[in-house]
Amino acid sequence: MTPTRYAFVKASWHADIVDRALDGFHQLIPPEQIDVFDVPGAFEMPLLSRDLAATGRYAAVVAAAFVVDGGIYRHEFVAQAVVDGLMRAGMDTGVPVLSVSLTPHQYQETEHHKQIYRAHFVEKGREAAKAALTIGKTRAALAA
């Protein structure tokens, strides 16, 4: 039997933006089918995503984060490590692990930018839900 639950992992950094991805995900997948897990930041998402996928309880795991240049580290390296880790989690477990982890080139903590990225995360959450549903249908057809 194929699981009908989904895990949604979200980073707490920039939660006012990142949480909008869950709003978009809810537009296609009912909240009662989603278990939500918070992590401190993007770097913590791959390990938890792998652990959740390995339980066999979830049709897919979605991980959402907003990785911006903090001036101290190269955010591109963090973002690349996160996306590589999420991909590896999916490949290692055989469960789709989808990323809504975005790294803008230009982000400033202005209300204008926040509004733009909040709306973008809603769309990306919706796209992740579509991907999860599509992959599930395709895999079910392959198994039949």
Q: Is 67 marked within a binding site?
A: yes
Q: Is residue 1 domain-resident?
A: no
14-18, 64-68, 87-91, 122-126: which range is least confident on average? 64-68
Reply yes or no on whether the pLDDT at 66 is more than 80. yes
Q: What is the DSSP letter of 19?
A: H
Tell me the average pLDDT across 87-92: 97
* Residue 95 belongs to some domain of the structure: yes
The verdict on residue 119 lying in a domain is yes
Query: Is residue 21 included in any domain, yes or no?
Result: yes
What is residue 2's three-state secondary structure?
coil
Predicted confidence at residue 113, as pLDDT, reads 79
Specify the number of domains making up the chain. 1
| 57 belongs to the catalytic site | no
Which residue, chain included where needed, has tokens 């692990």? 97
Q: How confident is the model at residue 101 (pLDDT cuts 50, 70, 90)?
A: confident
pLDDT, tens digit, for every residue of 29-52? 999 999 999 999 999 999 999 999
State mean pLDDT over 125-144: 95
Contact between residue 20 and residue 127 where contact means Cβ atoms under 8 Å apart: no
**Alpha-carbon distances, residue 89 vs 83, 117, 142 (angstroms):** 10, 26, 21
Task: Tell whether residue 37 is among the known ligand binding residues.
Answer: no
Provide the domain limits for residue 111. Answer: 6-143
Q: How many residues does the chain have?
A: 144
Q: Can you say how many angstroms the Cα of residue 122 is from the centroid of all Cα atoms in its chain?
A: 12
Residue 126 domain-assigned?
Answer: yes
68 marked ligand binding residue: yes
pLDDT band for position 143 (50/70/90)? confident
pLDDT in tens, 1-15: 567 899 999 999 889
3-state helix, strand, coil in the chain (%, to 5): 55, 20, 25
pLDDT of 107 above 70 = no
**Residue 66 labeled ligand binder:** yes
Rounded Cα gap, residues 44 and 11, in angstroms: 8
Query: So what's the pLDDT on residue 111?
Result: 82
In a domain, 79, yes or no: yes
Amino acid at 60: A
44 assigned binding-site residue: yes
Residue 82 annotated as part of some ligand binding site: no
Among the residues of 5-108, which ranges form H helices? 15-26, 45-54, 75-93
User: How far, in Å, CA of 133 to CA of 83, rounded?
Assistant: 20
Higher pLDDT pick, 103 / 139 = 139
Mean pLDDT of the chain: 90
**How far is 42 from 60, CA to CA, in rounded Å?**
18
Name the catalytic one among 74, 88, 118, 139. 74
